[in-house]
Amino acid sequence: MSPAPTLKEVRVFAPATVANVACGYDVLGFAIDAPGDEVVARFSDKPGLRITEITGDDGKLPKSVEGNTAGVAALDLLRHLGMQDRGIEMEIHKKMPFGSGLGSSAASAVAGAYAVNKLIGEPLSKKQLLPFAMAGEASADGAYHADNVGPSLLGGIVFIRSNEELDIAQLPVPKNLWAAVVHPDIEILTKVAREILPTTIPIENATQQIGNLGGLICGIIQEDYGMISRSIHDVIAEPQRQKLIPEFYKAKRAALANGALGFSISGAGPSVFALCEGEEIANKVAAAVSKVFSDINLENQMHVSPINQNGVHVIS
């Protein structure tokens, strides 16, 4: 018999993520330091899992466990362990906007699974939590891809060979690689952003995209910033999705003019990101992109961060 858990309550933070990373549609993503979501889990005398409080969601999210990404992930984990009747309460504190392209639903799912796993004595490793967090995110948009869930859970840069098999690998992070992320205050639903993508791809575009993805992975592993810069190009999704983001190409020109290695759309958008060599350049790039949006009276938020190598973690 396993020892009784000693924790009565745990609070965790799951970070936002940048998915696709230009040429890695549905197969590449990385974590940033902020924003993110917090989940609190505690034992309860009342049997079963309950969500007792949600903040930061403007009343949009259901407290029903089966209707909430954090709840679905945690319940799936408890069922797997035969502990679905254990009394547990969860609080969800949303610290990032919906439809931002920063993995909001993924962060909640990751935080839900991780918090409950910690509370009950950590029977599973982080990587073993991946399918439960994936089930949570899939409950939100029906898509089953780990490019947000993987890095939010594990941290760093994550490559997904197969989403169906959840065959993933963490890439080494170049020590001076930073991200400049800007979120303009518009909402783009993932479903809409997927519907505008082409259903067929010319072979030359597919070949170019494969080359760029391979080059980006090689550049990351070898800390070759020139190779990284030459490879951050998306010839499939970005040309279609850019029309959903005001002044996208003006923002891209501003980023590159200020030293960005490359610039593209984070996930389904509207957040945009640049990879940069060093914090100073990342700050300059973020400010330049933010100004493009501000000049058209579009409110926006900047997030400048090294690649977050911790992923979800316990906070005090």
> Which residue stretches of the chain are H helix?
69-80, 104-119, 130-141, 149-154, 190-195, 203-222, 225-231, 238-241, 248-257, 279-294
- The answer to whether 253 and 282 are in contact (CB under 8 A) is no
- The answer to whether 197 and 209 are in contact (CB under 8 A) is no
Q: Letter for the amino acid at 117?
A: N
State the distance between the two ends of the chain, measured CA to CA, in whole angstroms: 30
Q: Known catalytic residues?
A: 137, 190
Burial label for 85, CB within 10 Å (0-12, 13-18, 19+), is exposed
How far is Cα 207 from Cα 126, in angstroms, rounded to an integer? 35
- The answer to whether 65 and 41 are in contact (CB under 8 A) is no
3-state helix, strand, coil in the chain (%, to 5): 35, 25, 35
Closest C-alpha to 31, from 288, 287, 266, 259: 266
Fill in the DSSP letter of residue 246.
T
